[in-house]
Amino acid sequence: MATSLRWPASLPQTLPLGTRVRTSRNVVQSETEFGPQKVRRRFTAAPKILEYPADAFILDDDQLAELLNFFENTTAGGSLSFMWDGPVPWMGDVEVRFGGEELVPEGIGGGQWAVETRFRVLP
C-alpha cells in the first residue's frame, strides 16, 4: 500500500557504505514422524531490514532537526510508512518504515551528529 509521504530531500538520499540488507526469515518448519521436516513459506513476501554502522549516518544540526521532525510529526513517531527513492541504489523507489523504536543521535562535535536507527523495507 503506497503512501504519499516521502523521505525529505534535505536528508541523505542513499544509506552509507557499510549498510547491511537483512531479509526476514519467512519459513515455518514442522517436525514429521518420519523423514525430513516439512518446510513452507510463512508469507508471500517479507520485509527487509536496513542496518548501517552507527558512526556512518552523519547529519549536521539542520538535518538532525529535519529528521527528528520527520520521525516525530510526519511519520507519527515512526508508525507511518513513507516512500524513499533508492536508499540502497539497486532497490529503486521503496516503501519504508522506521524499524527501531527510537532514533539515537550522538553528538560527534562540530555540529555533526551520528544517528542510529533501522529502516524496514515493506514488501
Mean pLDDT per 10-residue segment, the chain (123 residues): 86 79 74 83 73 76 95 93 84 84 84 87 84
8 A C-beta contact, residue 54 and residue 15:
no
What cell numbers appear for 88 in the block? 540502497
pLDDT the model gives residue 54: 62
pLDDT the model gives residue 71: 94
pLDDT the model gives residue 72: 93
Q: What is the spatial distance between Cα 21 and Cα 13, in angstroms, rounded to a whole number? A: 16
What cell numbers appear for 74 in the block? 510526519
pLDDT the model gives residue 23: 73
